[in-house]
Amino acid sequence: MPSMKGKNPLKGKKYWRSLNEVADAPEFKEFVAREFPSQASEFIGGGESRRNFLKIMGASAALAGLASCRRWPEEKLTPYAHRPANRMDGVPVHYATAFERGGMGQGVIAVSFDGRPIKVDGSPTHPLNMGASDIYLQGDVLNVYDPDRSRGPVTRDGGKRSESTWEDFEAAAKKIDKTRLVVLSEASRSPSVARLRGQLVAAGAKWFEFEAWSADNQRAGALAYFGRPLRAVPRLDAATIIVSIDADLFHGEPLSIKFNRDFAAGRKLRDSAKFAEAQMNRLYVVESGFSITGSMADHRRAVKPSAIPGFVAALAAKVGVAGATGAAAKELAEFVDALASDIDSASKTGQKTVLVAGSRQPAEVHAAVAAINAKLAAPVEYYADPEDPRAETGWSTHADQLSAFAQAAAGAGTVLVIGCNPALTAPANIKIADVLKKVTSIHIGTHEDETAQISAWHVPQAHFLEAWGDVRTFNGAVSVAQPLIEPLFGGRSTIEILSLLLGDKKQGEDIVRETAGADYLKGRLTDWNWKKALFDGVVENSARKSESPVPGAAAAAVFGKLSGAVKSGEIELALFAGALFDGRYANNGWLMEMPDPMTRVSWENPLIVSPKTAARLGLVSDDVVEIHAGSSSIRAATYVLPGHADDALSIAVGYGRKGLGSVADGIGGDAWALRGDGTMLISDVKLVNTGERPIVACVQDHHTIDAVGKNRMYTEVPELVVEGTFAQYKKKPALGTRKIVALSIFDEHSYEPGQPWVMAKWGMAIDLTTCTGCSACVVACQAENNVPIVGKQMVYRGREMHWLRIDRYFKFARDEKTGAPAGDLSQGSALGSGVDPTDVQVVHQPILCMHCENAPCEEVCPVAATTHSHEGLNMMTYNRCIGTRYCSNNCPYKVRRFNFFDFNAGHTYGEKENLYTPNLLRDDLDELLKMQKNPQVTVRSRGVMEKCTYCVQRIENARIQILAKNRQDAGNAKFPDGAVVTACQQACPTDAIVFGDLNDSKSRVSQLQALAQVYGLLDTELNTKPRTQYLAKVRNNAGDLDRGLYNEHTASEGWFFENTEEPSEKTEKAKG
Amino acid sequence: MSPYMPGEIDNTWNDPRQRAPLVVGESASFHGVTEKICAVAEAPRPPKAWYIGFAVAFTFLNILGVMIFYLLFTGVGVWGMNRPNMWAFDITNFVFWVGIGHAGTLISAILFLFRQKWRTGINRFAEAMTIFAVVCAGTFPGIHVGRVWFAYWLFPIPNQMSMWPNFFSPLLWDVFAVSTYATVSILFWYMGMVPDLATFRDRATTKIRYFAYGLFSLGWRGSNRHWHVYERAYLILAALATPLVLSVHSVVSFDFAVSQVPGWHTTIFPPYFVAGAIFSGFAMVITLAIPARQLFGLQDFITMRHLDNMAKIILVTSMLVGYAYLMEFFIAYYSGSPFDRFHFLNREFGNMFWAGWIMFGCNAIIPQVFWFKWFRQNPWALMIICALVNVGMWFERFVIIVTSLSRDFLPSSWHWYTPSYVEVLTLMGSFGLFSTLFLLFCRYLPMVAMAEVKSVLPQANPHNVTGEPNPTGYQPVLTSDEKH
């Protein structure tokens, strides 16, 4: 993070002084306000000092009792005679809490270390997360420590900014005339917010709800079809055929975490006892961009956004939905026929089909999809949403809510904007800046964002880890959110501010408890139930039952409106939510630096173009273009992505920020500005090539690749990513994996149990069939292991530090005889890697340290800084490393990362375009960022090599507990399966990563590694014996719809044994 | 005979009945040798060209200092390296300079053992060059590590952690090989210089010179006993240094050969690197000798015959190196390893093809002109070709290191490499260091081993006092002190 020096300096003093709010005793306040070491004199002094000392002790114990919500005081000189309850130094404490994004509640388990939240993961009990995460959830903990968060109420008079106080704001709030108050709130399904909103509305205020990246087109579609704005929850796990209609199921949808999990549940070939009886779902995707969902597709077509309603109509007609007519565009006709016949044959055997349309598709498409799903009796659950404020005023979409707000605000006395940032995200046809400037506007938000910059008041909103709250998820299940830390910058939660406006000024916990008593714990609000709700993370019996809606009166008309639902244009543009979501994570360095799983670009929102369109427009990757849509224009670098629809463009929103923070400012272009109206699909855009070519930080395949390199990729990648079809798998599950019989002249280390120090033989299995490339593991690893971010320039130079990366390879149809790419490759030259732009598949391959048993890195280190553990971990001793970098050279997987600079302390992204600015002597780490660091993992300094450790700190924590339990028989202690879960494994929503003890034949990882489709990357070539093994990727194609894409690849020249079903037998024979 | 050097005496014939003289012209007497060599160091001021050269060299030396300072206080990131190219200019320069340092010891040790008398004219010169090259070479592994302040951990120093270095690692072998080589080379060079330093001492006209040369001549009086011990020690050191000529670059090549990077993992590396080192070392000797002999008037000692002989060695080693290049290709094909096959295709036809062709062209093709006598005996042609050989040999190391690393196993990790200005200036600075040391050597130390040269004069042959036919037509005039 950039230094706070010179800008809003935060000294340790200020941070620790916020303890004042913790303990109310005035003596304690006075005491803590003093600084160390003057405090030391208190202890030596007379009787009065002793009293003070006892008070501190008392207060500390009280703090400990408050447990989850307090930061521990810095007590350097007061060792305990008796340990206070609930506190053990150095032992992390886990709390269940919750937050919501876009009105969808998520349950999390937060890890608190000495009072500092350092990591969040999905709550295993929560119906949406079920223990899993996405990138945003993993990245959210960094937002707590964002130095650019607002630090207190701010007023603006004209352009003049002045810092204010909460007292002033409270005084101002008292004067607000509630009958002339108009509220624009982010979507929230919090029962407490709903209750306070009810009170405000009763007092005469008007309430509108706005989310820029909104999923409510689906509900508008349900309103059209069923007459009620129900929330659809497609059950991907219950369907055999899944049709994604421009939906990025696995990233950015409200239910993405659940979609990932449910989809993977239908692809767990590894779990069936007999491979011949395995079942597998099939994913059809029609989309304009190339999303990670598209990369998982079994059959996929890329079309312009305007062709999608036609596709839906044609499909509806084919499957026999009453009233549906229409034919798909000719490039889709064959696809629709094949899909319809597949659906038909599936339904004959009782298998289900489900259609899912994407958030950015218009309501008409969603209505039609609801009709088709109804016709097919698709496994879709529908839930009512009574907390929706729009239920009271007549339901309308968020875009309409914003227009209504703009009208209402014109005559308002005060306008309150909660959480959202309409000045950035509002469509261009609503002049929200004019509206806000004319009235007294109050902005509640975490940052002084674009809306705050034009509001009269800005008050800081607390992060969810700092505040009490309650949220509802898709099925209405309530989770209570508890704070883990006192607000670092004095922010307050939405409910506290609403309470303040209502004149109550209640504390968050009181508000939530009151709501609980009135709502979800009605009649059973006991201390026990309250604690249980906090402990469980979900309130018992709070989930609703799904509804069985019947088509409404207007249901027959839904197909009539389909044609023309998306305007067509010569070149159409679709907006999508990338790493920054709608822009709320723009100042989050982890997410900013996370390479997009498809383009592999970080620190940028490139304009994504198909190779053919790029060739037609004369563009190549990196060209900066001006994008004109309506009256707006932005600039963005081009990225040519094979597999993208022709004559269509895609760009991520949330970039191009001004005055938000040091990470976000000036990165990329603000794609929100291109929205003329509420739609994310923009029909007609013009591109102007500016001729500029700045650096674009792409971590893979960026540079133009020559013919030699290209040919090598054609032959090598199929050996790195073994892939086969479901039909091939059923015949021979080994697919193209190979084994080598390497006879060693040495006695190889056995790692068998019973040897001293060997409690386990660690190994990992990564299932490429279920890995969707969602990248949650990448961010989780960064959060867990104190992996620094390095900034755009350093990423461009190939110095990013991610311990876990997800390699992305394109696959294209190949001529069966020559092995050369089929199709016209000249069009692909814009990308440089020369792929056939029409038939493309993408595979994601997570790469982390393989922990080779024959680790090439270990032998070459001259100072023995990287060594092998008795349990087979390839270990890195940072303190011993002198940085010769030889290990990285000799690592065939290139998983080792080098601290070229003091990245952890360096202010690398203050100067985003310039080279790293050297600091001659090491700076101290930023005080705030220090707080986020995981104290169980070394914070590496410059000049040392680092890499994945299999989360060795988690292994050792588990070992301590196991050995403590088995003191009598420590020599035989074993790790039970699941005792150690790596950070990436914990985050993975599809359970694609499995870690455990290979000595335990019953452990999941042992069973997976025993499967025939398992292979070690480069193992046959180099005999590295990697402990991380991959399960070959299987796709489930139906016939030859994608000409040639499913050709079985052939292994290169006869170096290696082809793997058979029983590799062990072959090994035996060869040895004999 | 060169048109550029009027008055030069041609001693380059190959008549087996007659040995060509190794020292020609006025210097071909004991006194002449002493006068000529001492004159360089005793002149009140060096030639103007020396001042110009020294100014340039010293400037670059200072640039090197600034660059190293910047590097050490900032981080290795100021260089252009990335992942996968974790080594680039640093190790390229190291191997390049170590290679340069091979000619000296080869000339002084191996040619000594083989009784190649022509070595005497150039050996001091080449040994000095060796030592300065090793100084340059030693700089790079020292500064390229991420935490320079712990670089001493590379040495097996007993410590409280009972922690030894990893004896499996070729980098550790490097430490031993290069430090042994540096030690023996310095000893060899210095010991061989003692009689000449004594001559300087005896001729000293100022107190400082008298004291300094006196100190370093270790009380040499030229007694028979001194000569006896000296020659015995010289022989032993030559025997010790001989295997080092082969071992150092073999060990340096293990840095690559022992690893498994395609393009590095090759068994041909040790002999190939040694041949390359001798190749580049001799090229550097010629590159330096031609201007030096002109500047200080040493044409009598470093004659056309010497240059011709060295050019022939360059031709031989060029063919050895070229053979190794081709053999690498063949083995890559013959092994069937797809990684090796790709690497060698990529080396010549991939995105860094130019580097591969500079290496092949400069090292294997251009030196073939030395089949023709004109090229061997034209100083300008020699200079240019040898400079190109040095360029080619630098690129050889660059190609081996960077081209191999930039595209190894996983295509996802392939990455281009671009040097930063700091790296380029550091390379130029290392030439500054080398040249500064060399120019100081030229000015203050005996550039030609006087005592040894005298021993190969016809006069020194006890059977030749009456005067063998002297093809140069020059009759040595015996001075009074040589008469008895």
CB B385 within 8 A of CB B290: no
Q: Mind giving me the DSSP string for B270-312?
A: HHHHHHHHHHHHHHHHHHHHHHHHHHTT-TTTS-HHHHHHHHH
Average pLDDT value for residue range A511-521 = 93
User: How do residues A707-740 score in pLDDT, each as one tens digit?
Assistant: 777 777 777 777 788 888 898 888 888 887 877 7
Q: Is B230 on the interface with A (CB under 8 A)?
A: no
B116 alpha carbon, distance to own chain's centre: 18
pLDDT for the residue numbered A79:
63
B269 alpha carbon, distance to own chain's centre: 20
Please choose, from the candidates A465, A460, A486, the residue with its C-alpha nearest in 3D space to the C-alpha of residue A16: A486
**B70 with A918: Cβ contact below 8 A:** yes
- The residue of chain B with its CA nearest to that of A709 is B350
For an interface test with B, the pick among A863, A917, A1023 (most B C-beta atoms closer than 10 Å) comes out as: A863
Residue pairs spanning A and B at CB distance below 8 A: 196
User: How do residues A63-104 score in pLDDT, each as one tens digit?
Assistant: 443 444 445 555 555 566 777 777 777 788 899 999 999 899
pLDDT for the residue numbered A1041:
78
pLDDT for the residue numbered A76:
54
Angle between the A308-319 and A363-375 helix axes, to the nearest 10 degrees?
20
Rounded CA separation B169/B258 (Å) = 9
Chain A hits for B148, Cβ within 8 Å:
943
User: How do residues A787-840 score in pLDDT, each as one tens digit?
Assistant: 988 888 888 888 999 999 999 888 776 555 555 555 444 333 333 333 445 667
Residue A171 has pLDDT above 80, yes or no: yes
Rounded CA separation B447/B135 (Å) = 19
Rounded CA separation A355/A321 (Å) = 14
pLDDT for the residue numbered A814:
59
pLDDT for the residue numbered A924:
61
- C-alpha distances in angstroms, A498 versus A105, A984, B201? 20, 38, 96
Check whether the bond before A379 is cis (ω within 30° of 0). no
As given in the structure block, the two tokens for residue B90 are: 């640093």
Largest CA distance in chain A: 94
Which of helix, strand or coil describes residue B84? Answer: coil
User: How do residues A533-567 score in pLDDT, each as one tens digit?
Assistant: 999 999 988 999 998 899 988 888 888 888 888 88
The distance of B71 to chain A (nearest Cα, Å) reads: 10
Residue A524 has pLDDT above 60, yes or no: yes
Check whether the bond before B367 is cis (ω within 30° of 0). no
pLDDT for the residue numbered A837:
54
CB B321 within 8 A of CB B276: yes
CB A595 within 8 A of CB A629: no
Rounded CA separation A881/A947 (Å) = 12
pLDDT for the residue numbered A705:
67
Residue B382 neighbours by CB under 8 Å, 6+ apart:
B286, B290, B307, B311, B375, B376
For every residue of A808-822, which 3-state class applies, written as one string? EEEEECECCCCCCEC
Q: Which residue has the higher pLDDT, A1023 or A462?
A: A462
Residue A785 has pLDDT above 60, yes or no: yes
As beta bridge partners, residue A725 has A1035
Please choose, from the candidates B343, B352, B348, the residue with its C-alpha nearest in 3D space to the C-alpha of residue B411: B343
Residue B235 has pLDDT above 80, yes or no: yes
As beta bridge partners, residue A724 has A1034
For every residue of A407-474, which 3-state class applies, written as one string? HHHHCCCEEEEECCCHHHHCCCCCCHHHHHHHCEEEEEECCCCCCHHHCCEEEEECCHHHCCEEEECC
Neighbours of A35 (CB within 10 A): 11
Residue A1063 has pLDDT above 70, yes or no: no
pLDDT for the residue numbered A478:
94
**A920 with B154: Cβ contact below 8 A:** no
CB A474 within 8 A of CB A100: no
Rounded CA separation B450/B447 (Å) = 9
pLDDT for the residue numbered A703:
55
Give me chain A's average pLDDT, please.
83
pLDDT for the residue numbered A905:
73
User: How do residues A952-1009 score in pLDDT, each as one tens digit?
Assistant: 999 999 999 999 988 888 778 889 999 999 999 999 999 999 999 999 999 999 999 9
Neighbours of A237 (CB within 10 A): 17
Please choose, from the candidates A1026, A1034, A1050, the residue with its C-alpha nearest in 3D space to the C-alpha of residue A740: A1026
Neighbours of A165 (CB within 10 A): 11
Rounded CA separation B266/B287 (Å) = 31
Residue A344 has pLDDT above 90, yes or no: yes
Q: Is A720 on the interface with B (CB under 8 A)?
A: yes
pLDDT for the residue numbered B475:
45
Rounded CA separation B196/B191 (Å) = 10
pLDDT for the residue numbered A701:
64
pLDDT for the residue numbered A31:
41
As beta bridge partners, residue A1035 has A725
**A847 with B410: Cβ contact below 8 A:** yes
Q: Mind giving me the DSSP string for A1023-1066?
A: ----SEEEEPEEE---SSSSTTTTPPP--SSS-SEEP-S-HHHH
Q: Is A709 on the interface with B (CB under 8 A)?
A: yes
**B165 with A901: Cβ contact below 8 A:** no
pLDDT for the residue numbered A1053:
37
CB B270 within 8 A of CB B235: no
Q: Which amino acid would we find at residue A831?
A: L
Among candidates B74, B83, B260 on the partner chain, residue whose Cβ is nearest the Cβ of A892: B260
Q: Which amino acid would we find at residue A650?
A: S
Q: Comparing A253-257, A1045-1049, B53-57, which segment has the lowest mean pLDDT?
A: A1045-1049
As given in the structure block, the two tokens for residue A150 are: 């607002």
pLDDT for the residue numbered A793:
82
Which of helix, strand or coil describes residue A867? Answer: strand
pLDDT bracket for residue A27 (50, 70, 90): very low
- The residue of chain A with its CA nearest to that of B344 is A708
pLDDT for the residue numbered A816:
52
Q: Which residue has the higher pLDDT, A902 or A226?
A: A226
DSSP A713: H
User: How do residues B425-461 score in pLDDT, each as one tens digit?
Assistant: 999 999 999 999 999 999 999 999 998 888 888 777 7
Rounded CA separation A986/A981 (Å) = 6
DSSP A386: T
Helical segments of A691-802, H only: 707-720, 726-731, 776-784, 792-796
pLDDT bracket for residue A22 (50, 70, 90): very low
The distance of A456 to chain B (nearest Cα, Å) reads: 45
As given in the structure block, the two tokens for residue A708 are: 């030699």
As beta bridge partners, residue A874 has A868
Q: How many residues does chain B have?
A: 484
Q: Which residue has the higher pLDDT, A339 or A621?
A: A339
As given in the structure block, the two tokens for residue A802 are: 């991610």
Residue A300 has pLDDT above 50, yes or no: yes
User: How do residues A834-886 score in pLDDT, each as one tens digit?
Assistant: 344 566 788 899 999 999 999 999 999 999 999 999 999 999 999 999 999 99
Among candidates B70, B146, B342 on the partner chain, residue whose Cβ is nearest the Cβ of A944: B146
Tell me the pTM.
0.88
The beta strand positions in A376-531, using DSSP E, are 380-383, 414-418, 440-445, 457-460, 469-472, 478-481
Neighbours of A1002 (CB within 10 A): 9
**A863 with B153: Cβ contact below 8 A:** yes
**B82 with A798: Cβ contact below 8 A:** yes
pLDDT for the residue numbered A834:
37
Q: Which residue has the higher pLDDT, A10 or B438?
A: B438
β A181-185/A206-209 pair status: parallel
pLDDT for the residue numbered A329:
80
Residue B479 has pLDDT above 50, yes or no: no
Would you report the helix, strand and coil content of chain B in percent, each value rounded to 5?
70, 0, 30
Interface ipTM: 0.91
pLDDT for the residue numbered A928:
78
